[in-house]
Amino acid sequence: MTTRERFHAVFDGQPTDRLPNLEFGYWEETVTTWHREGLPAGVTTDAGVERYLGLEGVSLFLELPVSAYLYPRFERMVLQDSADRQIIRDEEGNTCEIRPGRSTMPRYLRFGLQTPEDWRVLKRQRLDPLTPGRVGNVAAILQEAATTGMPVFFNAGSLYGWLRNWMGLEGLSIALKTDREWVEEMMDHLSSLTLAMIDQLPGGISIDMAWWWEDMCYNRGPLISPTMFEEMLVPRYRRITNRLRDHGVTLNVVDCDGRIHELAPAWLGAGINCMFPLEAAHTDALRLREEFGDRILLLGGVDKRALIAGREGIDREIERLLPLVRRGRYIPCLDHRVPADVTYPNYLYYLEKKEILLRR
């Protein structure tokens, strides 16, 4: 079977030769450290690591060249430079401090979207669905999928996560309380932009899934109240998932870290049915399966802390997840990018032991 065939079979509850051997990627420092521990120096990217190790990683999935994001993006500019840090303007228009060569969160100094006037400029200059170049060579990606057997996804974007990135958590949270009409206007436009991109897809093409990015939870729950989520986001999600269904897309994957238990029922009700990456420290994937049964599809959930702990921790983690794998409609992979404190020997041991899950 191809990766594409395995992916669908697992989530459809059908027999497979084995589960797809997916992984999520690696921090830059991780790969650098692994070069000292046995990974060939020429292997430097997520896709390179996954190909070298024989994985079917998310980085190898094929994204349709259809952009519902900022287009064009801001040009990344270095505003100040010193030995260990830089002040930059990033691709989203924010001014922040970074530490080059380290996979750490930037320290944001000023967010680019602060006022309704900022929004009007951003919408006009970078969020116009008619901007030439938003749709690339779709046929080439579909041909690559036919050749490689890898899944194809449409990037469905974000209604909350992008606004949080552009405004900052504090800025968006204040706006939700003091100017909800403005936030709803922005969410409406992002929804319409995604719908416009769906409508520009060629007819009759085969798309395996839509992929959403909504980092809107932390370790104790959502960053927006479930009531606001139901009122503001669910109807807009539903418009998009309904349109995707018209194009034959019924698998919608949402990428959200943190504790997602409070939002999972509403996502399911909105047609977003696959939860990823199931950050094990905060989200109990087995509880989600018990609560929602086969309605919910699960991707991720392997606790990265177990790989840091070493072989005994990895063995316990494999045992913990085996009942969930046997329940079906679940693909195990690490619950985030692999951090640098996971050694290369531990990672190889994890991949070896993971075969128990893949063959169940």
In the numeric block, the tokens 């870290």 are attached to 257
| Structure tokens that stand for 42 in this block | 């020429």
Three-state secondary structure call for residue 337: coil
274 touches 253 (CB < 8 A)? yes
d(CA 267, CA 273): 7
pLDDT at 62: 98
pLDDT at 247: 92
Three-state secondary structure call for residue 125: helix
Query: What mean pLDDT is reported for the chain?
Result: 96
pLDDT at 319: 97
Q: Which domains does the chain have, with CATH numbers?
A: 3-70+112-359 (3.20.20.210), 72-111 (no CATH)
DSSP annotation of 89 reads E
pLDDT at 83: 84
Q: What is the pLDDT of residues 198-227, one digit of tens each?
A: 999 988 888 999 999 999 999 999 999 999
* Confidence label for 341 from pLDDT (cuts 50, 70 and 90): very high
**Run of H or E including 177:** helix 169-178
Give the residue among 154, 160, 156, 186 at the shortest CA–CA distance from 173.
Answer: 160
pLDDT at 90: 96
pLDDT at 174 over 80: yes
The dihedrals phi and psi of 345, each to the nearest 5 degrees, come to -60, -40
| 107 CB burial (10 A radius; 0-12, 13-18, 19+) | exposed
Can you state the angle between helices 311-327 and 344-359, rounded to 10 degrees?
30
* Confidence label for 272 from pLDDT (cuts 50, 70 and 90): very high
d(CA 220, CA 339): 22
Residue 88's identity, in one-letter code, is I
Q: What is the pLDDT of residues 91-142, one digit of tens each?
A: 999 999 998 877 778 999 999 999 999 999 999 999 999 999 999 999 999 9
Give the residue among 196, 124, 122, 113 at the shortest CA–CA distance from 156.
Answer: 196
**Across 27-46, average pLDDT:** 96
